[in-house]
Structure 1
Amino acid sequence: MGHGAAELGFAGDFQNRTARQMSCVENQEYPHNSFCCKNCEAGTYVKEKCSRDQEKGICAPCEKGTYAEHPTGMEQCLQCSQCHRDQIVVAECISTSNTKCECKPGTFCLPDEPCEVCKKCSKCKADEEEVSRCTATSNTKCKKGNSPPTEGPTDKPLASNNTNTIAIVVPILFLLIFILLGIILYKRYQRQLSSMLKILFYYLSEEEQENTHNAGLERKEGQRPESRPLLTQETQETGTKSIPVEDEDRGLGDSLPNTTSSSQTSLSPLPPAVYNEESPQSSPPAPRQPEMVTEPWAGDDGPPRRLVPVLGEEESLSKSFDLFDSLDVRYHNKFFRSIGVSDNAIKVAETQQPMDKVYDLLRVWMQKEGLRANINTLLQALLDLDQRYSAEHIASKAVERGYYKYE
């Protein structure tokens, strides 16, 4: 009977301790095992917890740089805070209180807001007077006439200021847009006018060249009967007298570059003049060839001769770019696309004069190709576009000026 009562008493005591553990007083006690320990005082921490209910364990003072502002059951103190750059230290950190900071003079931070960055104090306007100065926790307060005090002008700008700003900015923006559109339209008109004039000049010069060519043929036809074969009958009729080569060249030779500029035919040397074999006294003068071609670059059917740089690949190629000004303006974009120049680069170059456009796009192609850049690639591209005369003209001029030589 006594043993049973003892067991009941032990069970009741254990239940009471469990109940107490679940209801330890906040900020005064902390739970440990199945009972509550008393908190250590402010400025200390729990170094060793208690071994009995309602006792205090071993407490130790906070180390330097740490603090405990209230009684605590923690096993270490809190780290002291550091003030921000725009704040000053009002009170140093001690074992029972954290560091106290406030904004530097001229700045403020409202107490009901997290002070991450201090704001600059406002200044009253000329027609306002200061009601209270700016402090570390409040902004400047101003009033205008009999109106109630308001925050400084930098916090809440007036609606009238915004209206005035819009009234000034909007007309300026419209003026700038109008000027920009005018410049764009003028540039576009200038480019179109330049292209039209160049095409018109091209067709006029082509017609003039054709007229000159026809006039030369008419002069020749007047010098011989129509019923006789061209040169052979004339030499038979005159016996030992041969047709002067200068007259023959003047009729067709001078007009050769003009006719080839429109038809893009080959610039192969002219055939030698026909003369009578019965006249051994004096040999006929050599036929005059176009000045630009000293050697044929390519036959009518054979492959073109390869050009080899004389001044070094890059220098010879750069100096030859000016020769490409003779390209037909109608073939510019086709030519540059065929050698790999992007449409974007061609559009950018359209704003320039045709000669500058050709030079700049060739420079773009040269930078893109690097060491692979070669004048033979450009000449082959012209041949692929049926621009044989332009290719022969450029090749012969490059050799004549000493930039290249035939391989």
Structure 2
Amino acid sequence: MSAKYMVVSLLLALTIYPAVKLSLGAALRDRTARHVLCQENLEYPHESHCCLNCPAGQFVKEACTKPLTRGTCAACPYDTYTEHDNGLMQCLQCTKCRTDEEVTRQCSNTQNSQCQCKSGSFCSPDQACEFCKKCSRCKPDEETVKNCTSTSNTVCKKKIATSATVLVTVGVIIPVIVAVGVVLLIYLKKKLSFSNFTVVSCKSSEVVKVNMDDKNNTTLEEEERQSAGPLEPQQEREPFLKESPPVHSQRRRLIPLNGQESLKKSFDLFEELDINYHNRFFRRIGLKDNEIQGADNQSPADKMYELLRLWMEKEGSKADINDLLEVLFSLDQKLSAETIIHKAITNCDFVYEDVKTDCVAADIVTHHGINEKPC
């Protein structure tokens, strides 16, 4: 019985051993491939061995077949790069600068491109930079501690009034007060001196003088005219001054030379608007009171820029400088509107819609009476 049991056990062992050996061998190979250790920055793992990295500016086209050898490397295609020795199977894509950024370093096959905010704007490196913000300007009662850079905003601090400043201020204010007082005295004196005066009513055929102190008295000329008899009837003449009817002329529209970029650049020009009209202007262009109040902690120039940028985002492709100018005209801010139009054309950001040349022709005087230079 024991001999028969031993024979059966031997047959089972001979049957199971090859399968167990094969399974252990495969597991060992997988474990070796997974746990192969290669030198960092010098080698990369492939199957169960290490291959040497490809140099910067190249990538691994085909991995090596023998340990510690280099496979086939190929140069990075256009607009891709690798900055260091690597075992990458494809190169990295070059970074594209946004429209509000400028390129400080072009991309090559060994280095990525570098971008920074354009002059007059910044983006803090410790924040998500979705767009560049406009640099702040110090208020009149502040002084600049640090100028704005591409990565930091302007730093301002309150001015400290020195004794010299106080003396200068007093030395300026007192003479102004004295001068205003003198002008008022002269004005009052003249006003009193004209309490007795003669009103002259002029017509083509007669002159009548009336003494304001005694309306019942008549002058010598009037007595002589009465004694001479009645005058011949005359036709009633038109008054000397007539109120001219309002002139409704169609204003010339502006078109941007560089799309939304021209419109965004024109926002700085709207600092021309009197600060007392700011909130009415913002409401007329469709901004809500809470949006306007949200920018109250900024300087007037920064508030104008940020709220116009918000307006442009809300309007999208419909945003048009002509709509902003029409609001200024409706607020009776004609001088500000015409100054903005002149600067926008002079800066070569806009042209009139009916101008067929690339920019404003030289030595042409516009209907505003301003000689605009060519671009």
Q: Which has the higher strand share?
A: 2
TM-score, length of structure 1 as denominator length: 0.32
Question: Which one scores higher on RCO, CA 8 angstroms, separation ≥ 6?
Answer: 1
TM-score, length of structure 2 as denominator length: 0.34
Q: Which has the higher helix share?
A: 1
